[in-house]
Amino acid sequence: MRRTEPLRALVRETHLEPGALILPLFLCPGEGVRREIGSMPGVFNLSVDEAVKEAEAAAALGIGGLLLFGLPESKDEQATGAWDEEGIVQLGLRALQQSSAAKKLVLMADVCLCEYTSHGHCGMVKKDGDEYEIENDSTLGLLARTAASLARAGADVVAPSDMMDGRVAAIRDALDEAGLDQVPILSYASKFASAFYGPFREAADSAPQFGDRRSYQMDGANVREAMREIDLDLGEGADMILMKPAMPYLDVIRAARERYDVPIGAYQVSGEYSMLQAAFARGWLEPKRAMMESLVSIRRAGAGFIVTYFAEEAAKVLG
Ligand code: PBG
């Protein structure tokens, strides 16, 4: 059954289509800005006008949607740029909703504070000399406010990635109160504290200024805990869940797929992309084949959709 491509295609168990791919975009202030990320060849910080062009290209390729991140003009302890009605992602969403691409793409907005806080943590910080603590409960209000503001600006889906406990319920309440009850929540329910987020922190300028994220993101050794996190988020009203990273955690994706009947996405994160790109640059791996194999593995593990920096390249291959 492996002799010819038509035979192989006939018995193939896992298929990919451009509509299952979500492209992350990093919005930055300015006009005509298209600044490549050093550690992520082919990925850019884009001003809103450039992001609209990128969205139109993505829509033409049949990609399923975009996941938006923002680099604000300035950062502070309250993450003002995250929930400001004139924040960078809010401005981007309004512009994108006006574009022809909006009819074809699901516009997802990442909800987190780390790109907007001066210290780079995903929540409020209580500092006492060298000791610090991320304050879970005082963060929830700001996350909820951020999500409502993004939905008001035109997000079709809000995607909290902060890993604070109780944030899905807080966001659901805020959306409902704002009359945005139709907006679904894609919760990064299973998010591990991972070294593979390194290049993203360059792209989003969000590296923590002190400490790390291990007190709120999960320990990579724990699959049962991942299931408990998903349980909690679904109980609070999450409509879909996102698993992250993808390739080093395929078993966790599989476990979630077998256990939950909600739409499941997986995020092939920056480090997964960068390590493949590094090998491509050296001629150590065949780009097209390695890229597609990585995406099919994530799909085979059980992810319905995949957030990936390869979205456009893969869509071109899929035709
Ligand atoms: C924000 C956030 C991160 C990523 C997505 N949302 C960074 C982090 O948690 O440090 C990582 C995505 C990637 O690496 O591509 N909290």
Q: What is the residue-level pLDDT of the chain in tens, covering all 319 positions? A: 999 999 999 999 999 999 999 999 999 999 999 999 999 999 999 999 999 999 999 999 999 999 999 999 999 999 999 999 999 999 999 999 999 999 999 999 999 999 999 999 999 999 888 899 999 999 999 999 999 999 999 999 999 999 999 999 999 999 999 999 999 999 999 999 999 999 999 999 999 999 999 999 999 999 999 999 999 999 999 999 999 999 999 999 999 999 999 999 999 999 999 999 999 999 999 999 999 999 999 999 999 999 999 999 999 999 9
Q: How far apart are the C-alpha atoms of 317 and 235, rounded to whole Å?
A: 39
Q: Is 269 in the pocket of ligand 1 (CB under 6 A)?
A: yes
Contacts of 232 (CB under 8 A, 6+ apart): 165, 168, 189
Q: Among residues 22, 39, 104, which one has the least CA distance to residue 311?
A: 22
Q: How far apart are the C-alpha atoms of 168 and 90, rounded to whole Å?
A: 20
Which of 25, 113, 158, 161 to probe ligand 1 with, by most ligand atoms within 8 A of CB? 161
Which of 39, 69, 112 to probe ligand 1 with, by most ligand atoms within 8 A of CB? 112
Please state the CATH superfamily assignment of the domain spanning residues 16-318 in this structure.
Answer: Aldolase class I (3.20.20.70)
